[in-house]
Amino acid sequence: MIDAAKRASAHSIIAVIPYFGWARQDRKDKPRVSIGAKLVADMLSVAGIDRLITMDLHADQEQGFFDVPVDHLYASSVLLPYIKSLQLDNIVIAAPDVGGSKRASTYSKYLECPLVLCNKTRPKPNEVADIQIIGDIKGANVILVDDMVDTAGTITKAANLMKEKGALSVRAVATHCIMSGHASERVQDSALEEMVFTDSIPYSSRCAKVKQISIADILAETIRRVENNKSISSQYLI
């Protein structure tokens, strides 16, 4: 589509990609591994995009893979108001792994509540062996914050463990609803009260605990501001 628009003499081409594919493959962490995120970025650039609008990249530095401007939006613009609307007492924000600690820390500072970390060991991709909770969650309403949920193995194990350790309730919020394999069944059978996503990825499987919040307004407003050469900074809550 980009190539067709370019060959049709389009003045500019802006790619709006709410979920950037291959985002987790952002580094060469072992021999003979492709950096897929960089490859996709190169393909988009060579095809002819002039700008990219995306949301919650797996790592912020992936913006550096592009030689064109990147408008990196954050799902916190819709997820934080939802968390506040729950009007829960004694909220604790939790990161399901150490890699998500920065995101969870930002949420906890905005909501002025404690932060808890989960330390996990992963013997192979998409499989979690063990989780340890660092912090106090007894009697708290815990909210796990992540950028994406794929197999739901980590987040459901963390939720079950937190409930066992005395958490009053456990909820999860995440941007991208990948939910592959038996993820829906894992969420349904877990201690999670609910799992809240944006609709950056369509979700068709039936799971009573899964809820999606629309990001259409954020994307539409960003497109409008880019088209009118206006700042998008006020789009960000944090």
The candidate with the shortest Cα–Cα distance to 156, out of 119, 195, 117, is 195
Distance CA 199, CA 219 (A): 12
Encoding tokens for residue 19?
């979920």
Distance CA 26, CA 64 (A): 11
Neighbours of 209 (CB within 10 A): 16
Spot the catalytic one: 120, 163, 165, 211.
120
Alpha helices in 49-195 (DSSP H): 76-85, 101-111, 153-164, 183-189
**Residue 90 is which amino acid?**
N
Distances (CA, A) of 63 to 20, 27, 46, 163: 11, 13, 16, 37
Distance CA 171, CA 9 (A): 49
Is 1 strand, coil or helix?
A: coil
Report yes or no: 55 and 21 within 8 Å, Cβ to Cβ.
Answer: no
Query: What is the 8-class DSSP label of residue 7?
Result: H
Encoding tokens for residue 100?
């998500």
109 is an active site residue = no
Between β-strands 130-134 and 115-121, what pairing exists: parallel, antiparallel or unpaired? Answer: antiparallel
Residue positions annotated with a catalytic role: 120
